Amino acid sequence: MRPIVEYQNYHAYLRDYYEERKRTSAFSWREFAKIAGFVSPSYLKMVSESKTNLSKTTMGRVAKVMGLVGYEVTYFEAMVQFGNAKTDDVRKTFLEQMQSIAFEHKVRVVDKDAFEYYDSWKNPVIRELAPMMQGAVPSEIAKACTQDVSATEVRKSLQFLERAGFLKLVEDNVYEQTEKSVEGSKEGLPLAIRSMHRQMGYLAVDALDRFTANERNITGITMGVDHEAYERIVRELDECRKKITAIAEGCCDIKQVYRLNLQLFPLSKEVL
């Protein structure tokens, strides 16, 4: 599903959200409405079809049920009020608010043309480090990495990030990010993203011995589940990731680059 900031019609966003949930689980309009606290089981379906509207008192409940957090909630509520506005002046006010949020929290969705981005763990790390270390030369950025990387590798990564539009060179050795976040397209880059996850998994194992317990947080649970519980856990992990991303995007004085791996995988075959 596209990031919320790419929508201007909340009816369409609600419809796409439902279709995405329905595709991966036994989700229904009745369940959606019940969780959101609506008496009518078809109310949200009617909203998605533009047959009725959300109100100021209900839009927050719907945003919460959809797992929206941080700026996403603000954007969704502005989008509802933009869609419901009766005058051009009011519509303009909320449209400007939406555009401001979208610009500030723009997410780059990486497609097959930027496959190289996921080719090495160095690219996303340097994309975060370079704007943080304004004026730093490649050798200084290399020394700031916890893993071994050469100044030549940093230079090549910076050249790629600038060429592909992930970083913008403002002046000599001063970079800024073109988007707040980067997400991989599930359709276009499955092999590249798997490669990145594999590399980051190795780095996570290395972090067990490289860093003290107060510098890293590694926990796990071994549990038995059925398919329905698995789907619920996946949704919770997705919402958790979104909340953590919102927290990180709210940072004003970034000092360090961290990696968070969310891993859920089978340790047994299915017992029939």
Q: Residue 3 above 90 pLDDT?
A: no
- Give the per-residue pLDDT at 239: 87
Query: Mean of the pLDDT values across residues 11-26?
Result: 90
- Give the per-residue pLDDT at 188: 52
pLDDT (tens digit per residue) in 216-257: 999 999 999 999 899 999 989 988 988 898 888 888 888 999
In the chain, what are the domains? 4-105 (1.10.260)
Q: pLDDT grade, residue 13 (50/70/90)?
A: very high
- Give the per-residue pLDDT at 205: 93
Calculate the average pLDDT of the chain.
89
Q: Which tops the pLDDT comparison, 106 or 31?
A: 31
- pTM (2 d.p.): 0.63
- Give the per-residue pLDDT at 170: 94
The 3-class SS string of the chain reads CCCHHHCCCHHHHHHHHHHHHHHHCCCCHHHHHHHHCCCCCCHHHHHHCCCCCCCCCCHHHHHHHCCCCCHHHHHHHHHHHHHHCCCHHHHHHHHHHHHHHHHHCCEEEECHHHHHHHHCCHHHHHHHHHHHCCCCCHHHHHHHCCCCCCHHHHHHHHHHHHHCCCEEEEECCEEEECCCEEEECCCCCHHHHHHHHHHHHHHHHHHHHHCCCCCCCCCCCCCCCCHHHHHHHHHHHHHHHHHHHHHHHCCCCCCCCCCCCCCCCCCCCCCC
Q: Which tops the pLDDT comparison, 270 or 189?
A: 270
- Give the per-residue pLDDT at 191: 66
Query: Mean of the pLDDT values across residues 168-193?
Result: 78
Q: Residue 113 above 60 pLDDT?
A: no
pLDDT (tens digit per residue) in 54-81: 999 999 999 999 999 888 999 999 999 9
